[in-house]
Amino acid sequence: MALTLPNLEQYLRALQQPPRQVFADPDLHQAKIETNALGMPRARSGNFALVFKATAHGKALALRCFTRVSKEIEQRYSAIAKATHAANRTLGRETFVAFDYEPGGMLVEGNRVPLLKMAWAKGQTLGDYLAVHHKHTLKLRQLRLSLRDLCADLRRLEIAHGDIQLGNILVSPEADSLTLIDYDGMFVPQLSSLKASELGHVNFQHPLRNESFFNLRLDDFAFIVLDLSLRLLEALPEIYDRTYSDEEGLVFRGTDFADPLASQTFGMAARVASLSVPVKQFALICMAPIDRVPRAEDFYRGNVPVKDLAAARPVKPNSAEQAVSRSALPPPPKVYLGSFEVVAAASFPKVARLVGRRVELIGQVVEVRAGKTRFGLELALRPYIYIDFQALSSGNVVRVKILPELLETPGLDSRLLPNYAWVGQWVAVTEVVQPIQYLSHPSFSQGIGEASLVVNSPAQIHRIPVEEARFRLAGNNQAAKQRLKTRAISTRLPRHRNQQILAQIKRS
* Confidence tier at 308 by pLDDT (50, 70, 90): confident
| Assigned CATH class of 2-121+491-507 | alpha beta
Q: What is the pLDDT of residue 331?
A: 45
Average pLDDT over residues 439-466: 92
Q: In whole angstroms, how far apart are CA 312 and each of 158, 284, 305, 358?
A: 28, 9, 11, 36
Predicted model pTM: 0.90
pLDDT at 46: 74
pLDDT tier, 494 (very low <50, low <70, confident <90, very high otherwise): low
Name the burial class of residue 253, with classes exposed (0-12), middle (13-18) and buried (19+) by CB atoms within 10 angstroms of its CB: buried
- What does the pLDDT read at residue 7? 93
Report the 3 state secondary structure along 69-111.
EECCHHHHHHHHHHHHHHHHHHHCCCCECCEEEEEEEEEECCE
Hey, what's the torsion of the CAs at 281, 285, 286, 289, to 10 degrees? Answer: 160
Distance CA 274, CA 262 (A): 22
Mean per-residue pLDDT over the chain, rounded: 90
pLDDT band, very low/low/confident/very high, at 377 (cuts 50, 70, 90)? confident
Q: Is the dihedral of CA 312, 314, 315, 320 positive or negative?
A: negative
pLDDT digits (tens, 9 = 90+) for 106-138: 999 999 999 999 999 989 999 999 999 999 999
Lowest-confidence pick of 72-81, 340-349, 433-442, 474-483: 474-483
pLDDT value at position 323? 45
Domain residues of the chain, as ranges?
2-121+491-507, 124-323, 341-474
pLDDT the model gives residue 317: 43
Whether the CA torsion 469, 473, 476, 478 is positive or negative: it is positive
Q: Where is mean pLDDT largest: 40-44, 336-340, 394-398, 495-499?
A: 394-398
Across 468-495, average pLDDT: 73
426 within 8 A of 469, measured Cβ to Cβ = yes
Residue 486: band (very low, low, confident or very high) from pLDDT cuts 50, 70, 90: low
| pLDDT greater at residue 483 or residue 299 | 299
Q: What percent of the chain has pLDDT over 90?
A: 77
> How much is the pLDDT for 482?
66
Q: Which amino acid is at 171?
A: V
**124-323 — its CATH code?**
1.10.510.10
CATH number among 3.40.50.2300, 2.40.50.140, 2.40.30.10, 2.40.50.100, domain 341-474: 2.40.50.140
The DSSP element (H or E) to which 147 belongs, if any, is: helix 137-157
Q: What is the pLDDT of residues 322-374, one digit of tens each?
A: 444 433 334 444 688 888 899 999 999 999 999 999 999 999 999 999 999 99
Strand 358-364 vs strand 341-344: parallel, antiparallel, or unpaired? parallel
User: Can you tell me the mean pLDDT for 150-159?
Assistant: 97
Q: What pLDDT is attached to residue 493? A: 72
341, 481 in Cβ contact below 8 A? Answer: yes
Residue 218 reports pLDDT greater than 90: yes
Long-range contacts of 420-425 (CB under 8 A, 24+ apart): 420/368, 420/370, 422/365, 422/368, 422/387, 422/463, 423/365, 423/366, 423/367, 423/368, 424/364, 424/365, 425/364, 425/365, 425/463
**Could you tell me which residue, 158 or 318, shows the higher pLDDT?**
158
HSE, side-chain direction, 13 A CA sphere, residue 403: 18
Question: How does residue 398 score in pLDDT terms, banded at 50, 70 and 90?
Answer: very high
